[in-house]
Amino acid sequence: MILKLLLVISVIAIVYFLFIKKKPAKVKNKKNNSKKENPPANEMVECASCGVYCELEDTILSGNKYYCSQECVNKG
C-alpha cells in the first residue's frame, strides 16, 4: 500500500517538474538593459570666465582653461 502511494506521488512530481512548472525567463542582453537604466554620466567642468558648469565635450579649451562659449573665451 505504501509502495503504491510513493509511486503515485513520484509520478505526480515528475509530471509537475517536467510539464507544469514554469522556467524563469532568461535575460536576452544584459548590456542593453543596463544602458537604458543608467545612461553614462559625462564629466562636468566649470567655465573659467562665468562659472557655469558644462559637459566636457561641449566646452572650448583655450590656454589650459575650459570655457562654455566663444564669448567667454573672448572675455577671458
Domains in the chain: boundaries: 2-75
Residue 53 · residue 44 · CB < 8 Å: yes
For residue 59, the model assigns a pLDDT of 92
Given the DSSP bridges, would you call strands 65-67 and 60-62 parallel, antiparallel or unpaired?
antiparallel
Question: Which residues are CB-contacts of 43 (< 8 A; sequence separation ≥ 6)?
Answer: 55, 56
Across 3-10, average pLDDT: 93
The pLDDT mean for the chain works out to 83
* 32-66 pLDDT tens trace: 555 456 667 788 999 999 999 999 889 999 999 99
Beta strand extents in 1-76 (DSSP E only): 44-46, 53-55, 60-62, 65-67
